[in-house]
């Protein structure tokens, strides 16, 4: 497990991370969501031991990570800006990481690179941004580490490759218990892969919850009432988070179990009633507006 305890980090007069505490459980995909400058990259670099926190601590399996090579061998960090040794090929980078990670599987890397259409003997500086990202991800997977830290993992990848990478993550999690930590500015990229999501804004954590729990405990209802009295009867006692009305059509986001909400609306005898599936983006918007953040302008689709 990865634990962040009251983490703080500043660069000159800019506080990049402000008292962040998070628990990242083994065997789950943890998503860090936030706009550019929110603090995601600094958090990942702190977990990787690239930067030293000003305050607080990062623990990986109860061991401090900074200045601890033994712990860092359990981590592979993929930055948003790809860095490779100048003038190297993917095969030469594999040779380099084979010296660092005892479980690195070069033969598998060569095979997987071929499957993604990458020439392992071509200079990486001639690759496109998306191809460089693929090389980094495959190097990370073949490193055999327990934790894979990905900054904007899917940025620059076409839809087919993106799905292929997600499938690789899922297979590695099932086969050997890989724990991916993925930072992104795009909730929609993470919706179908993350088990737990933390929303970062201005260096702090606004929200950190299991995706399944969020989806179970918040419902979006569309309905039409015959009268204001019916509306009042249906909503009485419910925890209404958002309520929008266009003409006679009500769109209401409610915190609670589906069965309880259905029972409540039967009291109001609506003309039309339907519970719709919420996207992760809609859940975050609802949760953050309740605590006073207008997150719509911060979440990029």
Predicted pLDDT at 288: 64
CA distance 242 to 81: 39
pLDDT in tens, the chain (301 residues): 999 999 999 998 889 999 999 999 999 999 998 777 888 999 999 999 999 999 999 999 999 999 999 999 999 999 988 889 999 999 999 999 999 999 999 999 999 999 999 999 999 999 999 999 999 999 999 999 999 999 988 888 888 999 999 999 999 999 999 999 999 887 777 878 899 998 887 788 877 888 888 777 889 999 999 999 999 999 999 999 889 999 999 999 998 889 999 999 988 889 999 999 888 777 777 666 655 555 555 444 4
CA distance 81 to 133: 9
**How many Cα atoms occupy the beta-carbon half-sphere of 157 within 13 Å?**
20
**Do the bridges between strand 14-24 and strand 2-11 make them parallel or antiparallel, or are there none, so unpaired?**
antiparallel
**Do the bridges between strand 272-276 and strand 218-224 make them parallel or antiparallel, or are there none, so unpaired?**
antiparallel
CA distance 218 to 277: 9
Q: Are 237 and 264 in contact (CB under 8 A)?
A: yes
pTM of the predicted protein model: 0.82
CB atoms within 10 A of CB 9: 22
Predicted pLDDT at 290: 57
**All domains in the chain, ordered by first residue:** 2-202 (3.40.50.300), 213-297 (3.30.70)
> What ranges in the chain are assigned the alpha helix state H?
40-48, 69-72, 90-100, 106-115, 129-142, 159-176, 187-190, 211-217, 228-235, 258-268, 280-290
Distances (CA, A) of 7 to 18, 184, 205: 7, 20, 11
């Amino acid at each position: 497990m990865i634990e962040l305890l009251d983490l703080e980090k500043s660069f000159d007069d800019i506080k990049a991370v402000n008292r962040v505490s998070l628990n990242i459980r083994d065997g789950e995909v943890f998503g860090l969501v936030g706009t550019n400058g929110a603090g995601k990259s600094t958090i990942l670099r702190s977990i990787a031991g690239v930067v030293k926190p000003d305050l607080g601590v990062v623990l990986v399996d109860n061991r401090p990570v900074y200045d601890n090579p033994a712990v860092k061998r359990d981590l592979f960090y993929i930055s948003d800006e790809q860095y490779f040794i100048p003038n190297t090929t993917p095969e030469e980078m594999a040779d380099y990481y084979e010296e660092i990670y005892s479980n690195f599987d070069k033969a598998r890397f060569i095979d997987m690179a071929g499957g993604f259409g990458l020439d392992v003997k071509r200079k990486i500086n001639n690759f496109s941004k998306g191809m460089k990202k693929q090389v980094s991800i495959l190097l990370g997977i073949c490193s055999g580490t327990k934790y894979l830290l990905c900054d904007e993992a899917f940025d620059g990848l076409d839809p087919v490759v993106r799905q292929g990478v997600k499938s690789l993550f899922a297979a590695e999690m099932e086969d050997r218990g890989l724990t991916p930590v993925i930072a992104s500015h795009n909730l929609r990229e993470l919706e179908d892969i993350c088990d737990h999501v933390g929303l970062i804004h201005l260096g702090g954590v606004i929200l950190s919850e299991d995706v399944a729990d969020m989806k179970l405990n918040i419902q979006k209802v569309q309905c039409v009432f015959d009268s204001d009295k019916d509306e009042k009867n249906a909503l009485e006692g419910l925890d209404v988070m958002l309520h929008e009305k266009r003409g006679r059509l009500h769109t209401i986001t409610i915190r609670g179990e589906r069965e309880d909400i259905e029972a409540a609306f039967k009291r109001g005898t609506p003309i039309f009633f339907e519970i719709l599936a919420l996207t992760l983006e809609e859940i975050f918007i609802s949760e953050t507006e309740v605590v006073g953040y207008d997150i719509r302008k911060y979440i990029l689709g």
